Structure 1
């Protein structure tokens, strides 16, 4: 399936694109609100500025995809592979990324307010300036991640691995740290 076909089908009301092969497809600025892309192959896809609000991308393969400035508000990305993906400036407010692989991902300036990142792998991720206020980061792997300038106010990091993570300049007001202590 190519970009033209998926956009044509979407325009006719089709929403289920589960398990489709869209490797390296270019869908920049496309509107795919509420689309079902469960298990889809989107490796290396160019999805800059795409609107995937309330989309279902559970177990999708988005590694090395470019999702810069994408709108993924309330999207479901449980157990998705986003390793090495560029999500800088994307809006993932209220998104479910539990169990997702975001290792080495670029998340600078990304809006992850109230997102569920529990048990996700964010090892080595670039989260500089990201907004993670009230995010669920329970048991998340943040080892060697760069959180300089990130906002973690009221986030829950209970049981998270922050070994080697850069959090010196992060906002931590009311944050529940890995040991359960709330940062003042």
Structure 2
């Protein structure tokens, strides 16, 4: 329960509140469960404050300091947190539906199970953040930084992640169906079992990414860099991989049925046991590729480079 004295001070205005906090920096403000909807909190200082289950629906918290604050199960629906500092804050199970978090500092924040549906996180800093099972359906994360973030089982379906930095992020079992990842960086990211069906990953960097058993059915992967990526048993059926770089990638057991790999670079790729039936491999580079046990039935290899490739029957192509 909120401290009545702290609540009375806050209702006197941000200036009064911040002056009091400056004089009592060791006091942990207790506003647990309070309804703060009618208060303008721009630039308010809530450093390490207890804001559990508070109601901040539609509140303006632009430029506020919420570093280390406890906002567990807080209601921030439609709130404005533009450039706010939430470094290491606890936002587990918080409701941030349609919240404005543009340019906010959310590094190392805990957003596990949080509702961020349609939230605006454009250029937000989420490095090292935990968003385990968080809902980010249709969220805007354009140019956001999620370096090393824990995004396991998070729902990014139809989200905008254009040019976002997801390097070394953990996206295992995440739902990225129909997400926009154009120009995003997923260097050495973990996408094991992730759903990327119908996602747009044009010109995305997936160097060294782990995509074991990931679903990329019908995904747009034009010009994607999969150098040394692990795509074991991945489902790339009907995916558009024109001009993609898959050199030294492991595609063993992968399904590439009816995939478009025209002009793709598969040099030294491991395609053992892969299903390439009806795939378009026109002018693809398969130099030294391993095709042992691969299904090439009705595949179009017109103009493809097969020099020193190991063919499905184990013979070396001259």
TM-score (norm 2): 0.55
Take 1:90 and 1:48, find their aligned partners in 2: how far apart are those partners? 9
**DSSP 3-state at the match of 1:9:** coil
Change (3 A) 1:20 1:7: farther
Is there any run of 5+ residues in structure 1 with no aligned partner, and where?
Answer: none
Asked if 1:119 is matched to 2:248, the reply is yes
1:23 aligns with 2:135: no
Aligned-partner SS, 1:4:
coil
Once the two structures are TM-superposed, the CA of residue 3 in structure 1 deviates from its matched residue by 6.5
Instruction: Flag the 1:3–1:63 CA change in 2: closer, same or farther, 3 A.
Output: farther
Measure, in 1, the Cα distance between the counterparts of 2:119 and 2:148: 16
Residues 4-153 of structure 1 aligned to structure 2 (within 5 Å): 4=116, 7-10=119-122, 11=140, 15-153=144-282
Secondary structure of the residue aligned to 1:8 is coil
In 1, Cα distance between equivalents of 2:207 and 2:236: 17
Please name the residue that 2:16 is paired with: none
| 3-state DSSP of counterpart to 1:55 | coil
What is the rounded CA distance, in whole Å, between the counterparts of 2:115 and 2:268 in structure 1?
A: 37
Partner of 2:304: 175
Q: In 1, Cα distance between the equivalents of 2:215 and 2:154?
A: 15
Residues 150 and 170 of structure 1 are in contact (CA less than 8 Å); yes or no, is this contact kept in structure 2?
yes
**Superposition CA RMSD, Å:** 1.8
Kept after mapping to 2: 8 A contact 1:20/1:41: yes
Taking the aligned partners of 1:17 and 1:36, their CA distance within structure 2 comes to 6
- Determine the structure 2 residue equivalent to 1:166: 295
Contact 1:3 1:25 in 2 (8 A): no
Q: Unpaired runs of 5+ in structure 2?
A: 1-110, 123-139, 310-316
Larger RCO, structure (CA 8 Å, separation 6 or more): 1
Preserved contact between residue 183 and residue 202 of structure 2 (Cα < 8 Å): yes
Structure with max Cα Rg: 2
Q: Say if 1:171 and 1:69 are closer, same or farther in 2 by CA, change over 3 A.
A: same
Query: Do the aligned residues in 1 keep the contact of 2:168 with 2:186 (CA within 8 Å)?
Result: yes
Count of residues paired in the alignment: 181
